[in-house]
Amino acid sequence: MYQIIDGKKISQEIKDELKEKTAALKAQGKTFALAVIQVGDDPASSVYVRNKKRACEYIGIESVSYELPRETTEEELLRLVRELNEDPKIGGILVQLPLPEQISEDKVLLAISPEKDVDGFHPVNVGNLSIGRPGFISCTPAGVIQLLKRSGIQIEGKECVVLGRSNIVGKPMAMLLLRENATVTVCHSRTRNLKEITRRADILVAAVGKPRFIDADYIKEGAVVIDVGIHRNEDNKLCGDVDFDSVAPHTSAITPVPGGVGPMTIAMLMYNCVEGAGRNLD
Ligand code: GUN
């Protein structure tokens, strides 16, 4: 029988720990706000932003919203980011992605002060992660590590295969697993003999961005499978990169979609706000 890794429960545990820490910081007079910037009204982004603001409220962090029109220029957004960088009340800055096409995501992410980059997307934080220095870590891969650790799954010495090489998930995921002393292989769209490689994995992290791409053929018997994907299927129901029904019986543990990795991203954003931004306070 396989274990279903309960991201909802684990994310709630983390948020409750952070709520206590925030109260302790407040008692020392240390307060800060998270600035949340959304440009345009992409419906998926609006849901994410709303959930992030709700999590702030739950934990006891103030959030300050900036809802900018779709036509906002790059210069206007950069000006706002620079103002927030200088504002001592703001501990963290989050610019929801994707941005409209007239704005360079690269330029905007680079403009956020690395000390306030709670998403962990700034090259300074990405670099710090890769050389083992402290810094903000991208929330989704950080959440995957917490799911594994808090489910009692050992990472050290394991063969880990990461499917996907995005800057937000695949690459930092590989770095984090390496930091936990795993043997790490990163696969992507040009990888040959993909199944041969994934079938070596003790821990398989799927971040391919294709609905139910991973079936039982990709899995070694008894592997741990972490599904980072989130899609809507033909019936408008949520599904992941993994075909859960065919894969789960071959695993020792697996994350469901929804209720696996998804809730962890926001919990780890809150972690970055409290443990990172909170700690930066005088
Ligand atoms: N868009 C999709 N995922 C994310 C995320 O983790 N952070 C931000 N800022 N935007 C996103």
Write out the DSSP string of 179-209. HTT-EEEEE-TT-SSHHHHHTT-SEEEE---
Residue nearest to atom 11 of ligand 1 (CA): 97
pLDDT at res. 101: 98
Give yes or no: 146 in active site: no
Contact between 221 and 186 (Cβ < 8 Å) = no
101 HSE (CA, 13 A, CB side): 0
What are the residue ranges of helices labelled H in the chain? Answer: 7-27, 43-59, 74-86, 105-111, 123-130, 139-150, 170-179, 194-198, 244-247, 262-271
Ligand 1 geometric centre to CA of 97 (Å): 5
Residue 243: the pLDDT is 98
Helix (H, G, I), strand (E, B) or coil at 253: strand
Look at residue 281 in the predicted model and tell me its pLDDT.
Answer: 62
The residue whose CA is least distant from atom 1 of ligand 1 is 97
* Residue carrying structure tokens 């960088």: 85
For residue 135, the SS3 value is coil
Pocket-testing residue among 168, 228, 272, ligand 1, by greatest number of atoms within 8 A of Cβ: 168
* Residue 109 near ligand 1, beta carbon < 6 Å: no
- Superfamily holding 29-113: Leucine Dehydrogenase, chain A, domain 1 (3.40.50.10860)
52 given a catalytic annotation: yes
Residue nearest to atom 3 of ligand 1 (CA): 97
Beta-carbon contacts of 26 under 8 Å, excluding residues fewer than 6 positions away, are 60
Which part of the chain is CATH 3.40.50.10860? 29-113
Both structure tokens of 185:
């292989």
Please list the residue range(s) of the chain that carry CATH number 3.40.50.720: 139-262
As beta bridge partners, residue 159 has: 183
- pLDDT means per 10 residues, the chain with 282 residues, are 97 98 94 96 96 98 98 98 97 97 98 98 97 96 98 98 98 98 98 98 98 98 98 94 98 98 98 85 59
Architecture category of domain 139-262 in CATH: 3-Layer(aba) Sandwich (3.40)
For the chain, the 3-state helix, strand and coil shares in percent, each to the nearest 5, are 45, 20, 40
Ligand 1 mean position, distance from CA 223 (Å): 29
